[in-house]
Amino acid sequence: MFYWLFCSSFSYFYEKLKGCSRATLYAGFKITQRTIFFTQIITIFALFTAKLE
């Protein structure tokens, strides 16, 4: 399920990105990296606090 979701969203973004310039692509990549990073931190923090209770 997750794999399918990733693939479908990736192909959607790929179609969108084909029209973008390299700079836009790089900026989008950086934002995506940060978003994933923060999501991981929040998830780990949530799991940690859930274990403490």
Within 8 A by CB and 6+ apart from 17, the residues are: 25, 28
CA angle (33, 36, 44) in 5-degree steps: 140
**Which pLDDT value is given to residue 14?**
72
**Which pLDDT value is given to residue 6?**
64
Cα separation, 46 vs 26, in Å, equals: 30
Q: pLDDT by residue for the chain (53 residues), tens digit each? A: 566 666 666 777 777 666 666 777 788 888 889 999 999 999 999 988 888 87
Instruction: Using the structure block, give the residue that is written with the tokens 């950086």.
Output: 30
- pTM of the full predicted structure? 0.45
* Other residues' Cβ atoms within 10 Å of the Cβ of residue 38: 10
**Which pLDDT value is given to residue 17?**
65
Structure tokens given for 28 = 């989008």
